[in-house]
A and B are shown apart, each in its own frame.
Chain A
Amino acid sequence: MNKPLEPTVNFAKLSPGRLAAVATLFYAAASPMVEALYAQPTGSAAVQTVQPQRKNSSEASNTSKLKYLLIGAGTGALLATAYYGFSNGGKTASSCGPLNCALPYLSITGGLIGLFSAKDLAATRRAEAPRIGASLNFATVELPLISTPLGLAIRDTLIAVVTDSGAQIVSASGKPLALRRRGIGLSDLRQVALRPSGAQLLIGTGVALWEGSAGAGQLSRAYDGPIDALATDDIGVLGASGSTVFYRRGEGAAATTDSIRADAAVTAATFDKTSNHFWVASDSSLIEVDATGALKVIRKVPLPAKALSIAVSTEWIAVAMGSDGVAAWRRDGMSAPVVTPVRIRDEPRFAFDAAFVGSDLYVAGGVDGLFQLSLSPIAHVVGSSRQIRYATSLRSENGVLWVGDRGRKSLIRVTTP
């Protein structure tokens, strides 16, 4: 005689232990769902505040949860049905019958697994997605380095990456190659620069500026004092030691050095090909310096915060200011009596370095990856890529970005769109 089908769980046939387990799991899993359904504005607020561009993420997440719950429950039900078949309609089943025990048990368990998987997937997706802008995916080529990259310099076909174990010289080709290691043994390495004359390498440390060939041979002490910023033009090298800005023309014993004082300790420097001047930044101001004759200050612009690096394009001057984001000035508006920069504060959360490719500003955003910013007509974040695990240094040359990744201890060549 066939057993009558029991559409509901026969709890009387479940052991107390199983019952308790099912009840606990169900309660634990169902509570967030119930809460999500009844308290939608509260539950999603956390996401909305920090992810303004994903307004429907909660809704999507709930759909996904339901989908996975149903898939899990369906899989459980299928397993129970298979069990029903294998147990000859339940006749050869154990004390747990296929319909009154296995079906509810497996369906609930499957549903719960599905629900938890959905929650986990949604959380991972949420954590990996950019908080603002699109998720970008660049073509990259990675070159492992000897140690953690601290700074980069590019000149023609060479890249010098300063690390805490010396400078790595790399070929700036489509497939970058590690050529050699220089400056071995130096302590407290901070800055690096390359000069075109004979591929001269300059390394700034916490003690002195060292110069020598990027190819081989010993390095010589070129300037005494901790080097806080370094930039080169075709003739010489501009460096900063505390608030002293110096410009060194020539090499070796024949070199001459000129210096001026900035209003505060200098933190960054770069050469601007468009104006043929240098820009140096301190805690409080951005200074344009002319080194073509005697070193002189052309203009000073107040900075909203301490600059970590300066980037220039034909149209813009931009500074990366760590937690204070990015500020940029239009070149043609800088001579006005009051100059207000364009600011992007919230993203990336920490701007380590910046570089222009065309009119787009790229920012090394640490663990948040590489950011693409558009400065006009309205400054905004275009998107970001987490392909770089911990982006801290950035240079551009011929439309290609070179990024120092502290997370992987590597140099990454990024082809921009």
Chain B
Amino acid sequence: MRHRQFSFLISLAALVTLDACASVHPASESAAQNPMVTVALQKAAAGDTLAALAILDSANKLSPRNGDVLYWRGKILTSTTALGFTDIPRNILAWHLLSRGAEVDPDNPRYFTEMGRIRLRTPLMRIEAERLFRKALGVAERSKDAKQIAEVCFELGQVKERRFDTGRDRYHPNTPGIFFDPDQATEGPTAPTYVKEFLSQRSYPIEKAGFTDRSEAEEYYRRGLDALPTSENNAMGLMRVLYYQQRYQEMRDVATPLLNLPVTTARIPMTAALAEYRLGRLPDARLLFEDAIRRMPQEQREDELGLQRIVRVSDAALYTSLTDADRARTDSAHWEGADPLISTPENEGRLEFLARLAYVDMRFTDGDMRQIGWHTDRGIVVIRYGEPPVVAAFAASGDVDPPDNNAKTITVWYYPHSKLQFVFMGPPAMNYATFAGNFRGYAEQMREDAPFLLDNIPSVLAIDSIPVQVARLHGKNSSSLRLLVAATVNAREMYAKSEIDQGELEFSLRLGRSGYLKLVATDTQKLKLPATTELNKLWIKEVPMTDVRVRVEARDASVASAAGRSQTDIAAPPFTSSSFSLSDIVVADRESPSPEIMHGFEESGLRARGSLTLKKRETFSIYWESYGLKPNADGRVSGSVRVAITLLEIDRTKSSQPRLLLGALADLVGVTRLGDQTLGAQYKFSEVLAKRDRIPLIQQFNLSDAPSGRYRLEVFVTDDVTKQVAHTERTLYVRD
């Protein structure tokens, strides 16, 4: 509500200020403005419309035939009214004043324009409004007033565009008497499939619906731009109409002349960036988005670009309470995580978010309705889930409950990939719609489940597609950590659908705090295709002893499917230089024998696995390092090792329903091995310390007929000298 009042006051003040500066008609330029009008406009610009109206009332009594007085009194009166019947007396007075103005100043189109706006706000009078605008256009063209021509063309374009908006995406039920019921889409057993079934089986799309109105809207906007090439309103209107038809190149050209003007608001570069984004020219889109963000007032920047709408409610409350610096850090970490591939030149996740904002601003921001695109119900859904792939509009129906929904258009949005569905209702031709029925609650629930989806970006498929194993080992000193990162890239799958003879796979490793990742390793591997093997990569890097984010990416820029990534957040281990402790377990395969005295993983003769999923009966090795073992008098360290394996969860994804049920019952009564801890190995060791700060140990395993599932592998080491016990563990998976 506060936003509405705020935006209304801003728009009124802006309207008064701008219009007062520029609406002096050539014919009346010589006549100085009535000083009372000047004072009234200053009051109105300051937000005191009551005082402004009182002054104009007095001025009107003193000079009843002064066009300026009549116009401004009428205009300010109409600016304070809303759509509906409640403001009719006020509108009648304004109408009377403007009619008088048109009589005394017949060569000025502004009176007819304002009268048309009054009619637009009066229900059932849209045709009359259009007539008045056309009349105003005639007067403006006779008097060659470019600004007025542009203004009236914009109004006429909007009338046509809204009519098009009501008619587009129109569906019609197959059978008379059937109507789309929003409640059925949220309640009952058929709710999840109701929208899909209704659109595919019980209704059909109407071809070319709204085509004529769209075409006329385009002509009016173009005419407005021809008259005044800097008219932002007409440019925005035209770009909107072009966007509906995917005419992105033309859209971009419309924006070009306005981009270099200092008075251009953020909307133009934002919409131009949207066009570039749709054309796939991401670097150009980014530059334009940056330009738009620079042009935004600080308040708008925080409101529009903040994460509060795309996180869960509880996180939003936390986010808004952050300091500016913390919020910037959170933003940075969020967008780093949302970037499907950092190794591409652009952050596709953030660009998609900005494109969605540009779309909702272009599409739903409406001065007449005093609505800001990203505050509307439809706008918020687009920001969270993207532009709806399927849109269906149903004509107003008297059959929909409750009665106040009568005569409202129903708009259905369906997202086939995520199966999300939203239904909105709003009056026809008003660019206004809110959630229908229980959809507000549904949207809130969806927000908790999935507050922000980027599933419409192709590269998002790369997320979590590379299995990676990260192990924390002691660093050179107590303040550093050796991070072992092993990745397995399935090149066969990546290039499976490509018809080229050679691939160039670029691997990269980034490490750092979340939001501040740094590239620490990169290399390109040429592959002869078709690829037959998996590729294994290993990096061992020294990093500071803090929490660290590990990001591994693999990408062949030439092949759409050859992209993968993994991102893991690792907590700093509780290592201390003096106490007895163990490193993380490294799951590996034996490649060559290890020497008698090992200094680290590099000498172990093992190949670390990226994937922690083992095939049944597969032999594997585990490697870990012990720190802080006390040597005995002979300079040797010794201790005992116990390895325990626990089945945490049985994988029954391939089981039939009855077997699933029986399996669950068996787990419950303890018949299965679920939860059993099995002794994997137990032995003693004794080694010469040989000036080493760590004792690497290796053990080979085969889980034999262990069932598919999730396992915990634990290693307990007891120091013979101190009798202290240290423990480390790793989760493994076994699959058929």
30 pairs from A and B in contact (CB 8 Å cutoff): A24-B124, A28-B124, A28-B127, A31-B127, A31-B131, A32-B130, A32-B131, A42-B138, A42-B139, A43-B134, A46-B223, A49-B223, A50-B219, A123-B216, A124-B211, A126-B215, A127-B211, A127-B212, A184-B498, A185-B497, A185-B560, A186-B498, A207-B557, A212-B499, A322-B250, A322-B253, A323-B250, A352-B249, A366-B250, A367-B247
Determine whether the beta carbon of A32 is less than 8 Å from that of B127: yes
**Is B25's beta carbon under 8 Å from chain A?**
no
Residue interface bits A202-219, CB-to-B below 8 A is 1, else 0: 000111101010000111
Determine whether the beta carbon of A184 is less than 8 Å from that of B497: yes
Chain B residues 83 to 142 lying within 8 A of chain A, measured CB to CB, are 124, 127-128, 130-131, 134-135, 137-139, 141-142
B160 nearest CB neighbor, chain A only:
A123
Q: How far is the CB of B239 from chain A (nearest CB, A)?
A: 13
**A123 to B220 alpha-carbon distance, docked (Å):** 14
Q: How far is the CB of B426 from chain A (nearest CB, A)?
A: 22
Residues of B within 8 A of A46 (CB): 134, 137, 219-220, 223
Determine whether the beta carbon of A185 is less than 8 Å from that of B561: yes
Q: Is the interface of B mostly helix, strand, loop or mixed?
A: helix
Determine whether the beta carbon of A221 is less than 8 Å from that of B502: yes
**Is B324's beta carbon under 8 Å from chain A?**
no
Residues of B within 8 A of A166 (CB): 499
**A388 to B137 alpha-carbon distance, docked (Å):** 34
Residue interface bits A92-134, CB-to-B below 8 A is 1, else 0: 0000000000000000000000000000100110110000000
Q: Which of B134, B139, B142, B280 contacts A35 (CB 8 A)?
A: B134
A45 nearest CB neighbor, chain B only:
B141
Determine whether the beta carbon of A39 is less than 8 Å from that of B127: no
Q: How far is the CB of A313 from chain B (nearest CB, A)?
A: 26
Q: Which of B124, B250, B560 contacts A349 (CB 8 A)?
A: B250
| Contact flag A185-B500 (CB < 8 Å), given A24-B124, A46-B219, A49-B223 | yes
**Is B558's beta carbon under 8 Å from chain A?**
yes
Residues of A within 8 A of B15 (CB): none
**Is B222's beta carbon under 8 Å from chain A?**
yes
Determine whether the beta carbon of A183 is less than 8 Å from that of B499: yes
Closest 3 CB pairs of A and B: A42-B138, A185-B498, A127-B215
B interface residues (Cβ-Cβ under 8 A, vs A):
124, 127-128, 130-131, 134-135, 137-139, 141-142, 211-213, 215-216, 219-220, 222-223, 245-247, 249-250, 253, 280, 495, 497-502, 529, 557-562
**A219 to B499 alpha-carbon distance, docked (Å):** 6
**Is A251's beta carbon under 8 Å from chain B?**
no
Q: Which of B219, B499, B502 contacts A185 (CB 8 A)?
A: B499
Chain A residues 18 to 51 lying within 8 A of chain B, measured CB to CB, are 24, 27-29, 31-32, 35, 39, 41-43, 45-46, 49-50
A interface residues (Cβ-Cβ under 8 A, vs B):
24, 27-29, 31-32, 35, 39, 41-43, 45-46, 49-50, 120, 123-124, 126-127, 166, 182-188, 205-208, 210, 212, 217-221, 322-323, 349-350, 352, 366-367, 390, 406
Known: A350-B249, A406-B246. 6 other contacts (CB 8 A): A39-B138, A50-B222, A185-B561, A206-B557, A210-B558, A220-B502
Determine whether the beta carbon of A220 is less than 8 Å from that of B220: no
**A39 to B138 alpha-carbon distance, docked (Å):** 9
| Contact flag A39-B497 (CB < 8 Å), given A185-B561, A187-B558 | no
Q: Which of A32, A42, A187, A323 contacts B141 (CB 8 A)?
A: A42
Determine whether the beta carbon of A187 is less than 8 Å from that of B557: yes
Residues of B within 8 A of A124 (CB): 211-212
Q: How far is the CB of B119 from chain A (nearest CB, A)?
A: 11
B138 nearest CB neighbor, chain A only:
A42
Determine whether the beta carbon of B124 is less than 8 Å from that of A220: no
Residues of B within 8 A of A390 (CB): 245-246
A47 nearest CB neighbor, chain B only:
B219
**A210 to B556 alpha-carbon distance, docked (Å):** 14
Residues of B within 8 A of A29 (CB): 127
Determine whether the beta carbon of A42 is less than 8 Å from that of B250: no
Residues of A within 8 A of B130 (CB): 32
Q: How far is the CB of B255 from chain A (nearest CB, A)?
A: 11
B139, B246, B499, B560, most chain A CB atoms within 10 A: B499
B226 nearest CB neighbor, chain A only:
A49
Determine whether the beta carbon of A123 is less than 8 Å from that of B212: yes
Determine whether the beta carbon of A31 is less than 8 Å from that of B128: yes
Residues of B within 8 A of A182 (CB): 499
Residues of B within 8 A of A187 (CB): 557-560
Residues of B within 8 A of A219 (CB): 499-501
**A220 to B137 alpha-carbon distance, docked (Å):** 61
Residues of A within 8 A of B562 (CB): 185
**A123 to B247 alpha-carbon distance, docked (Å):** 22
Determine whether the beta carbon of A218 is less than 8 Å from that of B501: yes
| Contact flag A35-B135 (CB < 8 Å), given A187-B560, A323-B250 | yes
B250 nearest CB neighbor, chain A only:
A350
B126 nearest CB neighbor, chain A only:
A28
A124 nearest CB neighbor, chain B only:
B212
Q: Which of B142, B245, B500 contacts A218 (CB 8 A)?
A: B500
Residues of A within 8 A of B215 (CB): 126-127
Q: Which of B220, B247, B500 contacts A186 (CB 8 A)?
A: B500
**A181 to B296 alpha-carbon distance, docked (Å):** 47
Determine whether the beta carbon of A42 is less than 8 Å from that of B500: no
A166 nearest CB neighbor, chain B only:
B499
A49 nearest CB neighbor, chain B only:
B223
**A219 to B500 alpha-carbon distance, docked (Å):** 4
Q: How far is the CB of B175 from chain A (nearest CB, A)?
A: 25
Residues of A within 8 A of B128 (CB): 27-28, 31
B245 nearest CB neighbor, chain A only:
A367
Q: How far is the CB of A241 from chain B (nearest CB, A)?
A: 14
Residues of B within 8 A of A28 (CB): 124, 127-128
Residues of A within 8 A of B131 (CB): 31-32, 35
Residues of A within 8 A of B211 (CB): 124, 127
Residues of A within 8 A of B280 (CB): 188
Q: How far is the CB of B154 from chain A (nearest CB, A)?
A: 14
Residues of B within 8 A of A127 (CB): 211-212, 215-216
Residues of A within 8 A of B137 (CB): 42, 45-46
Q: How far is the CB of B559 from chain A (nearest CB, A)?
A: 5
Determine whether the beta carbon of A45 is less than 8 Å from that of B138: yes
**A380 to B637 alpha-carbon distance, docked (Å):** 96
Q: How far is the CB of A31 from chain B (nearest CB, A)?
A: 5
**A49 to B137 alpha-carbon distance, docked (Å):** 13
Determine whether the beta carbon of A221 is less than 8 Å from that of B500: yes
Q: How far is the CB of B305 from chain A (nearest CB, A)?
A: 28
**A384 to B222 alpha-carbon distance, docked (Å):** 20
Q: How far is the CB of B132 from chain A (nearest CB, A)?
A: 9
**A346 to B417 alpha-carbon distance, docked (Å):** 42
A41 nearest CB neighbor, chain B only:
B138
B215 nearest CB neighbor, chain A only:
A127
**A208 to B556 alpha-carbon distance, docked (Å):** 12
**A205 to B213 alpha-carbon distance, docked (Å):** 39
Residues of B within 8 A of A352 (CB): 249
Residues of A within 8 A of B559 (CB): 185-187
Residues of A within 8 A of B222 (CB): 50
Q: How far is the CB of B534 from chain A (nearest CB, A)?
A: 19
A41, A42, A221, A406, most chain B CB atoms within 10 A: A42
B141, B498, B502, most chain A CB atoms within 10 A: B498
Determine whether the beta carbon of B219 is less than 8 Å from that of A186: no
Q: How far is the CB of A406 from chain B (nearest CB, A)?
A: 7
Determine whether the beta carbon of A208 is less than 8 Å from that of B558: yes
Q: How far is the CB of B124 from chain A (nearest CB, A)?
A: 7
**A43 to B138 alpha-carbon distance, docked (Å):** 7
Residues of A within 8 A of B247 (CB): 350, 366-367
Residues of B within 8 A of A349 (CB): 250
Q: How far is the CB of B726 from chain A (nearest CB, A)?
A: 49
**A394 to B501 alpha-carbon distance, docked (Å):** 31
**A185 to B458 alpha-carbon distance, docked (Å):** 13
Q: How far is the CB of B115 from chain A (nearest CB, A)?
A: 13
Q: How far is the CB of B345 from chain A (nearest CB, A)?
A: 11
Q: How far is the CB of B145 from chain A (nearest CB, A)?
A: 14
**A182 to B139 alpha-carbon distance, docked (Å):** 60
